[in-house]
A and B are shown apart, each in its own frame.
Chain A
């Protein structure tokens, strides 16, 4: 697979179709791949494709198109990007929200079999790892090797992914992957919804109190491209910058609600969070509600109008009046 990717990228550079390519290269830690920016064709060899390519690369795109003062006539870069299903959906979102021009993005779509969540490996002292088909071989300090099933290590969002390949692409590589059943992916949130209000509130508070306001969730999110986040606005000032529970709560609620109808469940925020805050239970609730109320899923079509930017006579309204 990696050879195919390299070949495609090589061709793109050769045919002068892109100025820069964003993919993954080998990370410095076991079970890690790292985002990689290629501008010279000799660096293409650095590219890798494995089960650790978890970062959503779409997050890097808007910054290339932020208009620089005095550079109005500057030529916009043409960017090639490797896109898993979720990355691809984020790209669609960014195009629809006019953050990136479609014609400047060359999307190499790839069928994704899901990415590993390293936190699921309880054995903490891994010094090396190797991926072999559906298994991961990890090695500890004493050179002891343990074989783990990849399936058991998959990140939660990957386990229930419905869009393993992007809907919008210029070329699509790889073989189609099996999707989970629809009812499966909503099981966890339905379970959560059943709990009494107090219990849900308690869970929210418990999770939120872990937050240290490092902003990693926001910075890792392709949707969070706002030049000035409400959380930092000084005039008017909505919240303080501290890790006080009231500040944190307002920050999280504000940020998460801004994702309604936009979140693609890529899990970038969850992965970036160093404190292990279960953000997905909140973002997924939004996804489910938007789907239920408006029959809309983010990032799967360039044409369909975003639900929160349109009004239809028959839009559901109960959720406003009867929360």
Chain B
């Protein structure tokens, strides 16, 4: 972040700024929900959950909702694509943690792409400004620094904010971010050196809190020959086969497409209803079950292997990126404490004598 021009804004002013942007944007902010944090549409008079530990459900749900209508159909009606943003407004994602912002940049690769583009995600994404909030609240299961991340990672964000207490420091990351700050100039002041020093101190402190460090250098290459390794027989053992790790993961993007019919018109020759896509999980047996009854991934073992290989080998092969940002959600929420870090450490020990599996 050399020579970045930082701006400063009073925390109190931010609510006013967001209020003024409501006409133009659908604004998503972290709020307290059931004792956890979750992104929700900003409402007047609502405060932002500034010092939240990361949200339980990842903010990928804003750009890639758990269920969304692809189009509606009905008698006489032609198939119509659903408008992808409510009210056609632009999106402002405010206060997303850097790991989750990085995850958005990964999702961009999946839903974009040379051959086919996903219009639902991309149209929404194009209209989105991402304002991230540098992380001062790492948790014991966070391990972003073992991947590409750090508390002030900028990837995926247009603007990055630092919570300095009463003030918030803002730095533009992209042209879009620059323009945003320029346009909202009246709310910001130039930051002084002392503010920047404060930020640096805050980030050092935060970085030190991330105790969990695993060495996964060259994991892609390690896994190139690991498909048939016996280790997979053990790794999956305690997995229950639920969808928590994949649903909570900010980079998991697999989905199902299904039709929902209006039951009142179910018997009609021209059914009325909608085609919906919703999150799906490679951990479910039906995910790959053929109509013929054949299943290429019949047991927990193959499904667990698919999840790990997809993130740490197949995606690096296809997108040149590991599809894990180290947010720790899969670890935190796993009902049987199947810890991804442990899995990675044991996979890293393949072909070497390293037997130390401590995290």
Q: Which residues of A contact B (CB under 8 A)?
A: 27-30, 32-37, 55, 59-60, 63, 124-127, 141, 210, 212-216, 218-220, 232, 240-244, 271-272, 274-276
Choice from A29, A59, A216 contacting B244 with Cβ under 8 Å: A216
**A220 touching B240 in the complex, CB below 8 Å, given contacts A28-B342, A212-B247:** yes
Please, which residues of chain A bring their CB within 8 A of the CB of B10?
none
Complex CA gap A215/B279 in Å reads 12
Residue among B53, B140, B300 having the largest count of chain A Cβ atoms under 10 Å: B140
Cβ contact within 8 Å between A34 and B331: no
Contacts of B339 in A (CB 8 A): 27-29, 34
Q: Name the one of B209, B241, B359 contacting A141, with C-beta atoms under 8 angstroms.
A: B209
Known: A29-B140, A141-B209, A276-B34. A35 touches B243 (CB 8 A): no
Indicate if the CB atoms of B240 and A28 lie closer than 8 Å: no
22 pairs, CB–CB < 8 Å, chain A vs chain B: A28-B331, A28-B337, A29-B331, A30-B140, A32-B337, A33-B337, A34-B337, A35-B237, A37-B234, A59-B240, A210-B34, A212-B57, A213-B243, A214-B242, A214-B281, A215-B242, A216-B240, A216-B243, A242-B260, A272-B244, A274-B56, A274-B335
- Cβ–Cβ contact B66 & A219, under 8 A: no
A216, closest chain B residue (CB):
B242
Bound state CA distance, A59 and B242, in angstroms? 13
Kindly list 15 other residue pairs between chains A and B, CB separation below 8 angstroms, not including A34-B338, A59-B240, A272-B242: A27-B337, A29-B332, A34-B337, A126-B140, A212-B66, A214-B242, A214-B244, A216-B243, A240-B258, A240-B276, A241-B278, A243-B278, A272-B244, A274-B333, A276-B34
* Neighbouring B residues of A59 by C-beta, 8 Å: 240
Interface hits, B166-211 → A, CB 8 Å = 209, 211
**Taking the complex as formed, is B353 at the interface, i.e. its CB lies under 8 A from any CB of chain A?**
no
Give the distance in Å from the alpha carbon of A60 to the alpha carbon of B241 in the complex: 11
- How many residues of chain B are within 8 Å of chain A by beta carbon? 43
For the complex, give the distance between the alpha carbons of A126 and B243 in Å. Answer: 26
Query: Chain B at the A interface: mostly helix, strand, loop or mixed?
Result: loop
Distance in angstroms between the alpha carbons of A240 and B262 in the assembled complex: 12
Of the candidates A55, A125, A275, the one whose C-beta lies within 8 Å of that of B335 is: A55
Shortest distance between the CB of B254 and any CB in chain A (Å): 12
A37-B237, A63-B300, A216-B244 known; A28 and B258 CB under 8 Å? no
Contacting pair A214 B337 (CB below 8 A): no
Q: Which of B119-146 contact A (CB under 8 A)?
A: 139-141
Main secondary structure of the interface of A (DSSP, over half): loop
Q: In the bound complex, what is the Cα–Cα distance between A240 and B278 (angstroms)?
A: 10
Q: Which of B57, B335, B342 has the most CB of A within 10 A?
A: B335
Residue of B nearest to A27 (CB): B337
Q: List residues of B (224-250) whose CB comes within 8 Å of A's CBs.
A: 234, 237-238, 240-244, 247-248
Q: Chain B residues in contact with chain A, CB under 8 A?
A: 34-35, 53, 56-57, 66-67, 139-141, 209, 211, 234, 237-238, 240-244, 247-248, 256, 258, 260, 276, 278, 280-281, 284, 286, 300, 331-333, 335-339, 341-342, 359
Q: Are B278 and A215 in contact (CB under 8 A)?
A: no
- Point out which of B57, B278, B300, B342 has the most chain A C-beta atoms below 10 A from its C-beta: B278
Distance, CA A276 to CA B35, complexed state (A)? 10
Which residues from A are CB-within-8-Å of B66?
212-213, 242-243
Judge whether A37 and B242 touch: CB under 8 Å.
no
Q: Is the CB of B238 within 8 A of A241?
A: no
Query: What chain B residues lie within 8 Å of A275 (beta carbons)?
Result: 34, 56
**A34 and B359 within 8 A (CB):** no
Would you call B258 and A241 a contact (CB within 8 A)? yes
**Chain B residue contacts of A274, Cβ below 8 A:** 56, 244, 248, 333, 335
Contact call A216/B335, Cβ cutoff below 8 A: yes
Q: Let me know if A28 and B244 touch, CB within 8 A.
A: no
CA–CA, A271 and B334, complex, Å: 10
CB of A190, distance to nearest CB on chain B (Å): 26
A278 to chain B minimum Cβ distance, whole angstroms, is: 11
Complex CA–CA separation, A35 to B141 (angstroms): 19
Q: Which residues of A contact B278 (CB under 8 A)?
A: 240-243
- Point out the residues of chain A lying under 8 angstroms from B258, CB to CB: 240-242
How many Å lie between the Cα of A127 and that of B209 in the bound state?
Answer: 11
B256 touching A241, Cβ below 8 Å = yes
Contacts A32-B337, A55-B336 given; does A215 touch B284 at CB 8 Å? yes
Q: How far is the CB of B139 from chain A (nearest CB, A)?
A: 8
**B286 close to A232 (CB less than 8 A):** yes
